[in-house]
Amino acid sequence: MSIRLILFTILKWLLFILAFAILLLLLPIILIFLSTSIKYNLFAKKEGKFVSHGQITYFFKMLNFTFVFDFEENFNYKINFFGKNLSFDNFKKPKKNRKIKKSKKIKKNSKNKKHENLAFENTNIEIKNIENEKPKINSENIDTEELIKQITNTKKDSKLKIFQKINNFFYKIKNRIFDIKKMFDDIQTIYNKFKNYHDKDDIIKYTKKFFEKFIKSLKPRKIDLNMEVGIGAYETGILLAVIAIILPKLSYNVVGNFERTMIKGNFYIDGRIRIIKIVTLCVNFYLKKPIRKLIKSFITREKQNIN
């Protein structure tokens, strides 16, 4: 064996040991970050005007996001990261306190009084000279035809600008429609390919289970709803029926007002999202053989299309 090969193997093993040591050091930090959950709460109230405020906290309130939404004051928020305020919109620079000694100030004022008086007299003389030199405008010198031309040109320019704005708006809509159409075509091609896929039943079963567990992990711990709703006799009845189907186990008090249109009440939601639970769900979903095969085939096709 040559000396180069021996040095290369030693260096390789040293790098491997160093990487392993760094991973061992970072592993408890990663586990702590994953084990801590994201906590959130939201409160909304509608009595005359709509007001809502909420909070999202992570890692023992080291990362904190609070917000207040009001139709009059718009949207105000505050972000705290390890005790530091990151909301730059509300940031104000502190004013410097300039302390001046009284004795120095009095001396300066007494010296500058004479200079100020002289400067004031000079400025009065200059203003008088400027007023005398002002040119007098005669109404006879103004050309009416030129004024009419200028007005017509400005009108034409404003019309052209409006037309350009309308044209740009319709062009943007056209592009959006084209993008949506393209997206639907892509979905249709994927669906047609998936119809003939041999493991499609297993994939549907695993994806269904994954989404059920994923929605359960995001489910809030507490929901309080106290509301009086009136949006027409027929519509109010349908709304109450939908709420009874969707929120059977949660504490809510929704009263229908069939006589007049109005919305009044409050809403409170409190919950937490465990990151480690979501990560484990995603890993288990990927480790399923048909899912893994489908993802790998999709990646290979994408690579072939790029090449």
Q: Where are the domains of the chain?
A: 147-196, 199-306
Q: How far apart are CA 243 and CA 44, in angstroms?
A: 18
Helix (H) or strand (E) holding 106: helix 102-133
Residues 38 and 279: beta-carbon distance below 8 Å: no
User: In the chain, how long is the greatest CA-to-CA distance?
Assistant: 107
Helix (H) or strand (E) holding 147: helix 144-195
Question: What are the contacts of 87-93 at 24+ separation with CB within 8 A?
Answer: none
List the pLDDT tens digit at each of the 307 positions of the chain.
577 788 888 898 999 999 999 999 998 888 888 888 899 999 998 887 888 889 999 988 888 999 888 766 677 888 888 878 876 554 444 444 444 444 444 444 554 544 455 444 554 544 444 444 444 444 444 456 666 666 666 766 666 677 777 777 777 887 888 888 888 887 887 777 777 777 888 888 999 999 999 988 888 888 888 888 888 778 888 888 887 777 666 667 888 888 888 888 998 999 999 899 999 999 999 999 888 888 888 888 777 777 6
Q: What is the pLDDT of residue 4?
A: 79
pTM for this prediction: 0.55
Distances (CA, A) of 278 to 41, 72, 211, 285, 286: 20, 38, 11, 11, 12
Nearest Cα to Cα of residue 285 among 207, 227, 217: 207
Q: What is the pLDDT of residue 73?
A: 62
Q: How many CB atoms lie within 10 A of CB 229?
A: 19
